[in-house]
Structure 1
Amino acid sequence: MTSYASALLEQNHDVATRLRDLINQLAVEHGSFILSSGQQANFYVDMRPLTLHHEGSPLVGQLVLGMLDAAGIEFEAIGGLTMGADPVATAVLHTAAADDRAVDGYVVRKQPKGHGKGRQVEGPGIEGRKVVVVEDTSTTGGSAMQAVRAVREVGGDIQAVAVIVDRDTGAKEHIEAESGVPYLYAYSKTDLGLA
């Protein structure tokens, strides 16, 4: 597997290098962990301390937007399953806004809201719009696929699934086979020295 960031890291790109270092400092823990997929792992990547960090968030926005642009993905809205996707999408829409690009965000609830309008997808409407589903990290792709299904139910036109850290455990293959859209990731576990 080749990640987007690995190409930038080979060129010693400041954003990719600094973000990789921050991921290792703030988001990676070593030990024995059970993942949301039920799999056992000797490291855990909790991206929230990074994606909500004052320095990490802007770097996430720059890297994810750069990755999507480099892949030629055109989109009008970005979001995914709460809560891992929320700070990633927010970082991207702020980065886009700084470049005078109109990118909206959206949030996918784990379950439709039990009151009010009963929505599962919140934010500016995405029906008929080109959207990207994001996730902070992925093992099997289950969270991203839950978001894909919800977005398609409300008429969003998914262009890609984008992830910051891919654990190299089959998420890419699963998501591309089931969703029919490209799966992009910024860092593999190898890029982070976790292989």
Structure 2
Amino acid sequence: MPHARTAPALSLPIQDARERLRVLIRDLAVVRGRVVLSSGAEADHYVDLRRITLHHEAAPLVGRVMLDLLQREGLVPGIEAVGGLTLGADPVATSILHASAADPALASLNAFVVRKANKAHGLQRRIEGPEVAGRRVVAVEDTSTTGGSVLTACEALSQAGADIAAVAVIVHRADASRAAVEAAGHRYLAAYDISELEI
């Protein structure tokens, strides 16, 4: 049986796009059952946002919703690139890049990838993509429990000379993450709160 066709992500009004993405996250990304998080903490559910950021319908919606968040928060236009620590941040940044390129009213954003360690050969770069030195950027992540991954990215960005305008996640999962990011001196933004997923 063929899949039901849905309105393309780029043609939906933003509020409809936001609601459709919320439903997809709720229905596809929430996994129930005891899990150990990367922080070592235990939870009775897991929000696997790679099931969203790598999904044919959801990924374009991620780009639109995250770009809208950055616009509403006064960061677009103004920032030049988005990215974060590989692997969770990569499809988020790519979705935002494509959403900005599709909107001729916006200055197109570049994306970058922060490696977990410096590459041992070639140019030996820690941050791949267009140069970030002297550029205003946003560090992105799909979700965060402790802030560890996105703060690792922020540390590398600072060392590379980037101006970090904010940290932005798709789903705000835990207050510890916001507290850690803000304690490090960064603005923290989220498109959705975990409470919106009806877990």
Same fold, judged at TM 0.5 (above): yes
Paired position in structure 1 for 2:116: 110
Alignment counterpart, residue 139 of structure 1, candidates 127, 136, 145: 145
| Residue segments in structure 2 that go unaligned for 5+ positions in a row | 1-13
Shift of 1:62: 0.6
SS of 1:13's partner is helix
Alignment counterpart, residue 155 of structure 1, candidates 156, 161, 165: 161
Amino acid paired to 2:190: Y
Shift of 1:13: 2.3
Alignment counterpart, residue 186 of structure 2, candidates 170, 181, 187: 181
Q: How many residues align?
A: 182
Paired position in structure 2 for 1:20: 22
CA distance in 2, matches of 1:160, 1:187: 16
CA distance in 2, matches of 1:70, 1:17: 17
Where do 4+ consecutive residues of structure 1 move more than 6 Å? none
Amino acid paired to 2:65: L
Q: Is the counterpart of residue 172 in structure 1 residue 178 in structure 2?
A: yes
Q: Give TM-score scaled by structure 1 length.
A: 0.91
Paired position in structure 2 for 1:192: 197
Paired position in structure 2 for 1:38: 40
Paired position in structure 2 for 1:83: 87
Q: Is the counterpart of residue 62 in structure 1 residue 64 in structure 2?
A: yes
Amino acid paired to 1:186: A
Structure having greater relative contact order (Cα 8 Å, sep ≥ 6): 1
Shift of 1:166: 1.2
- Give me the identity figure in percent: 52
Pairwise CA RMSD of aligned residues? 1.1
Paired position in structure 1 for 2:11: none
Larger Rg over CA atoms: 2
CA distance in 2, matches of 1:57, 1:83: 15
| Residue segments in structure 1 that go unaligned for 5+ positions in a row | 1-11
